Structure 1
Amino acid sequence: MEQITLSFPATRTASGKALAGVVGSGDMEVLYTAGAGNQLQVDITTSVDNSQARWQALFDRLAQVSSLPAGQMVIHDFGATPGVARIRIEQVFEGVSHA
């Protein structure tokens, strides 16, 4: 298991908490808690070693097409594809935008 911590500039605020995915499903779980400030901190536990560059690229791409909210995100990844990872992350962002 690899532990990765990433931080990104946040360009919007959100409120509340959101959860997407199920850790026991064999894919991934994303938990997001809105916070004050101008950073999105992402803590990732993954079964895929040497994947920091992949996660960095995924969040860089998300930041280019959408605004990232301030807060804390926890990801438990058990080999999800980048497409599934992006869907789960977008689901929690949508969840807090409607909270």
Structure 2
Amino acid sequence: MKEVNADLYHLLNENETGLYTQEFHKNKTVYAYVHLDFTDLANFVEAVGTYPFEEGGMKVTMFERSICVDLNDIIEGHDYKLSSYKKCFDEDDWERYKEQIEEMERDY
């Protein structure tokens, strides 16, 4: 098994990415996202395949010139770990959420 989807890895390194958390009572999930220019959508679909778009599509946040896509389901859906894509995210962001990500992956 490969550690990452090479096409997605390249796409993430070419675009703005980030991490955030929504802290609920006992759930501290760390979410990864990527901002994609509309011109990059075809490359994104090619990189992730058609699976994420089945069953009614995918929720995104749309801005004037880009969309923001949460990546967790895509990465986990292909049996990869978020930590395998560590170098695609800002080092300070990664350090801030590192413990939570490790905990999530232990439970996965």
What range describes the TM-score normalised by the shorter chain of this pair? Answer: under 0.3
Task: Determine which structure has more spread, i.e. the larger CA radius of gyration.
Answer: 2
- More RCO (CA 8 Å, sep 6+): 1
Bigger share in helix: 2
Bigger share in strand: 1
Q: Could you tell me the TM-score, scaled by structure 1's length? A: 0.28
Q: Could you tell me the TM-score, scaled by structure 2's length? A: 0.26
